[in-house]
């Protein structure tokens, strides 16, 4: 089976739900952010600071090209990965793409709960986080919506919701 790519904004639940989807269906799971950190032995934040966004996006692109040849794998992508280079086209051509769709407000609420663990927003006020989510989603939403499957991740509050969402994705993909 070709890879399943889980895409969406930070806080949409890509890593959590992707991991559950893989476990429930006996598939391998890869988080591209963790893969990048292991490959370059630096945190995502440090890579952004040291090499800049353009070079970081090139690294993401080379990683997704490499992973696109894997079978029986669920791949949770970084929030911006699908929006740069031809990554969205590549993923649509080489596997199944699933967009975890959530409103700006739901994403804002989740990100405020975990802002300390998110380098892009850890130093922002709540109002700045709200503006960041809105402005970034305006740019990214049209790319995310090119996914082959759109699954609502609006009501993702607890483990039961995460399992339900993973099962919904599995049913949609006929796994």
- pLDDT tens digits, 68-100: 999 999 999 999 999 999 999 999 999 999 999
Gap between the Cα atoms of 1 and 146, Å rounded: 21
Q: What is the dihedral of CA 164, 166, 172, 175, to 10 degrees?
A: -120
Q: Residue 46 sits in which domain range?
A: 4-172
Q: Is 140 labelled as part of a ligand binding site? A: yes
How many domains does the chain divide into? Answer: 1
Residue 53 — very low, low, confident or very high, per pLDDT cuts 50/70/90?
confident
Distance, CA of 28 to chain centre: 16
Do the beta carbons of residue 145 and residue 92 sit within 8 Å? no
pTM: 0.92
Q: Is 164 labelled as part of a ligand binding site? A: no
Mean pLDDT of the chain: 93
**Each residue of 125-153: pLDDT tens digit?**
889 989 999 999 999 999 999 999 999 99
Q: Is 79 labelled as part of a ligand binding site? A: yes
- Beta strands (DSSP E) in the chain are 4-7, 28-31, 73-76, 96-101, 149-152
Q: Is 161 labelled as part of a ligand binding site? A: no
Q: Is 110 labelled as part of a ligand binding site? A: no
Inform me whether the pLDDT recorded for 54 exceeds 70.
Answer: yes
Q: What is the per-residue pLDDT for 115?
A: 63
Residue 117 — very low, low, confident or very high, per pLDDT cuts 50/70/90?
low
What integer is the mean pLDDT of 98-127?
A: 83
Q: Is 109 labelled as part of a ligand binding site? A: no
Residue 157 — very low, low, confident or very high, per pLDDT cuts 50/70/90?
confident
Q: Is 14 labelled as part of a ligand binding site? A: yes
Q: Is 94 labelled as part of a ligand binding site? A: no
Q: Provide the CATH number for the domain around residue 164.
A: 3.40.50.300
Gap between the Cα atoms of 136 and 138, Å rounded: 5
Inform me whether the pLDDT recorded for 20 exceeds 90.
Answer: yes
What integer is the mean pLDDT of 26-37?
A: 97
């Amino acid at each position: 089976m070709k890879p399943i790519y889980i895409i969406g904004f930070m806080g949409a639940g890509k890593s959590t739900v992707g991991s559950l989807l893989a476990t429930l269906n006996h598939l391998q799971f890869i988080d591209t952010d963790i893969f990048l950190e292991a490959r370059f032995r630096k945190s995502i934040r440090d890579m952004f600071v040291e090499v800049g966004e353009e070079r970081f996006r090139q690294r993401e692109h080379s990683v997704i090209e490499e992973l696109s040849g894997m079978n029986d794998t669920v791949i949770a992508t970084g929030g911006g990965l699908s929006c740069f280079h031809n990554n969205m086209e590549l993923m649509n051509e080489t596997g199944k793409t699933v967009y975890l769709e959530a409103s700006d407000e739901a994403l804002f609420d989740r990100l405020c709960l975990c802002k300390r663990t998110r380098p892009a927003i850890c130093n922002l006020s709540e109002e700045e986080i709200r503006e960041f989510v809105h402005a970034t989603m305006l740019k990214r939403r049209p790319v995310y919506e090119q996914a082959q499957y759109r699954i609502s991740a609006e009501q993702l509050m607890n483990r039961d919701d995460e399992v339900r969402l993973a099962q919904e994705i599995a049913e949609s993909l006929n796994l």
